[in-house]
Structure 1
Amino acid sequence: MSRRILVINPNASLACTRGIAAALAPLPLPPGLALEVTRLAEGPPAIASWEDWHSVALPLCGLVEREPAAAYVIACVSDPGLEAVRAATRRPVLGMFRCAVAAAVTRAERFGIIGFVAASQPRQRRALQAMGLEARLAAWEPLDLPMEVLCEPEAPRGRIAAAARRLAEQGAETIILGCTGLAGHAALVAEASGLPVIEPCEAAGAMALLAAMRP
């Protein structure tokens, strides 16, 4: 069995992929287990629409079939292609959104989500419905920024901080970063909201580590 966790960004953004790798870098790995981050070069610039979401399923399956790993992580907080990829391999396949929600409900009764764009909300709500957890969503706030802007260290800070404060005002007790492009802004969200923050790369990376250590 391959001794690596393969983390796949289903969009083509280099900036987003670098942010995912940076968020995962502190993860402690046991000897002999590697963590690799890659991107779907033929993917869209971001997973913004249902068309984007559906378009990456088959390419993700093909990549997983070509690249053996102990576990796979789909590094998008809409979990595109999750069911299809699980059918393409016998190894564990984790979606970042579901991992983040699982982490959030261990911290608090009600969580809020900072979303990428408004069009992401139906996909995330559908996943929450499938998990039986939609009632624990306190509020959902979209940023509606391009991926490349979202990944910048300074340009999106004002809008991100404002969204974090609104979630706290609406009763969120913890906040999920609803896009991998937000990985570098976890500290800002915590400071602005005064709440614990669930960063999906960290949540999924930790769960993938446990999954990869099982035969």
Structure 2
Amino acid sequence: MPGGRILIVNPNSSARVTAVIDRALEPLRRTTSMRIEVVGNPSGPPGIALQADADSVAPFVQDTVGQSDALACVIACFSDPGLHGAREASAGRIVLGCGESGILHAMMSGDRFGIISLSESSTQRQRRMVRTMGVASRYAGSVSLSATAEDVTSPAMFEAMAGAGDELVRQGANVVVMGCAGMAHCRDALERRLGVIVIDPVDSAVAMAIGLCCLKGSRVHGDAA
């Protein structure tokens, strides 16, 4: 859809996380004529460490999505804060959460998925998400890095992420999902190291958004014909 726009919303205040997301989406930008724009939340917490953090940024996500004229919006936080309210506020536009999208992509890519999480509180939210989605039988578990969203933007975290991935493979995962948008820069190297498919959930959500926009556009043009 020429001239269309996809808005990526990072609900935390970390400029480093926003920059990592933006750079990681360059390959997708080369595949589409749609503009892919990434915005952060300067007034938000530096990371979504607790459920309270996720709850606190939900109004920002919902307001940003509701006021946007983008064809599609993606929430670039694995906890998907404000997702359902944002969909209600979106007047029928496409709104995706990267956590939900990453898990769906993982289930299309292998039998069992595991998640590299930032912290134990992140792991708890991931378990709730898996149960809510009804896909617990496909979930091998989560392994925590005991890190922050900003920590994982550093290449120095790669070995810790690889160790977590190895543990997930030992637990039966044949797909590994990175449980934070700030991990995106490690995807290719992590996939080579682990020897299994590694999912960057923001990349997955944006790719889905592009496809859904194209599908929606084809229906509009088909109806007009």
Normalised by the length of structure 2, the TM-score is 0.90
1:9-48 matches, cutoff 5 A: 9-27=10-28, 28-31=30-33, 33-48=34-49
The aligned residue for residue 207 of structure 1 is: 208
Q: Which moved more, 1:56-65 or 1:40-49?
A: 56-65
1:78-93 matches, cutoff 5 A: 78-90=79-91, 91-93=93-95
What is the deviation of 1:184?
0.7
Q: Which moved more, 1:58-67 or 1:46-55?
A: 58-67
CA–CA distance in 2 between the matches of 1:142 and 1:192?
Answer: 18
Gaps of 5+ in 2: 218-225
What is the deviation of 1:40?
1.3
**In the alignment, does 2:186 pair up with 1:185?**
yes
CA–CA distance in 2 between the matches of 1:139 and 1:146?
Answer: 19
Q: Which moved more, 1:7-16 or 1:124-133?
A: 124-133
What do residues 162-196 of structure 1 show as CA deviations (whole Å, max 9, x unaligned)?
Answer: 11111111111110011111101112322332111
The aligned residue for residue 137 of structure 1 is: 139
Report the AA paired with residue 147 of structure 1.
A
The aligned residue for residue 71 of structure 2 is: 70
Secondary structure at the counterpart of residue 175 of structure 1: strand
What do residues 50-73 of structure 1 show as CA deviations (whole Å, max 9, x unaligned)?
Answer: 110100111112222332110000
Say which one has the larger Rg: 2
What do residues 17-62 of structure 1 show as CA deviations (whole Å, max 9, x unaligned)?
Answer: 111111111114433x211011111111001101101001111122
The aligned residue for residue 114 of structure 1 is: 116
Report the AA paired with residue 202 of structure 2.
C
CA–CA distance in 2 between the matches of 1:116 and 1:54?
Answer: 17
Contact 2:5 2:36 in 1 (8 A): yes
Report the AA paired with residue 184 of structure 2.
A
CA–CA distance in 2 between the matches of 1:53 and 1:211?
Answer: 26
Which has a greater percent of helix? Answer: 2
1:141-152 matches, cutoff 5 A: 141-152=143-154
Normalised by the length of structure 1, the TM-score is 0.94
Report the AA paired with residue 138 of structure 1.
A
CA–CA distance in 2 between the matches of 1:15 and 1:162?
Answer: 23
What is the deviation of 1:134?
1.2
Percent sequence identity over aligned pairs:
38
The aligned residue for residue 123 of structure 1 is: 125
CA–CA distance in 1 between the matches of 2:65 and 2:113?
Answer: 32
RMSD between superposed Cα atoms in Å: 1.6
Gaps of 5+ in 1: none
Report the AA paired with residue 169 of structure 1.
R
Aligned length: 213
Secondary structure at the counterpart of residue 27 of structure 2: coil
Report the AA paired with residue 143 of structure 1.
L
Contact 2:149 2:180 in 1 (8 A): no
